[in-house]
Structure 1
Amino acid sequence: MACRITELVLDARDPELLARFWCEVLGYVELERDETSIEIGPPDVGFGGPQPTIVLSQTDEPKAGKLPLHIDVNATDREQDDELERLLAAGARPADIGQTGTESWHVLADPEGNEFCLLRRRVPKV
């Protein structure tokens, strides 16, 4: 028997802002909300599908340092450079975590400073 990742929980000072950003990046939609969190996920699939949902949970604690876990994304329908332009237009910004400049990926930060990487390989849509 094994487990499967079904949801990722990300603390957020502004869940609305991050929900909009990650919905734009991933093509997700809002699935559910309550007074302290917003869950987003793939349209027409929801919880339990092949891709994990993301729960953006309200916190007043500021981000302190590098997160021990980060998200990697790959483009599904365009080359890496074109996807980088799209992500920057959506509100991502370049992040410096000590890269050498020879990496095949781009390190970015979402609007609250959470690092994530745009990898080179294009993957099929799920």
Structure 2
Amino acid sequence: MACRISELVVEAADAERPAAFRSEVLGYVELCREDDGSIGIGPSGVGFGGPLPVLVLSPGEDPRPARARLRMDVTATDRDQDAESERLLALGAAPVDVGRTGERRRYVLADPEGNEFHLLPARPRTLPAAAPRR
């Protein structure tokens, strides 16, 4: 195996409400909050890198036409991120320039039909203290 689905990213006008709702529905806990307002939720006691993908609710209303509200991000499992990027490009992925800059290293790519996804670096499997259930 060279990649696994590590994160499902769902765009939402307000990330807070769908994150709370989906946490209750799935029995997930909050794993992280990003500076951009994104909220990551996942199985309690597992965190990032577990057998199930993390769900990331990302606020925004991207003006690009026909932009999908769901994106499947992947993480390399048996090679480094640069080597996996080369493999995905050879398979037919294309780089996408979305004007992103920042510290978190990721590749924004598109599959052969133009659907965007990110090739993410491996994340540490550290977990925050579990939030109390409501």
| TM-score, with structure 2 as normaliser | 0.44
Of structures 1 and 2, the one with the larger relative CO (CA 8 A, separation 6+) is: 2
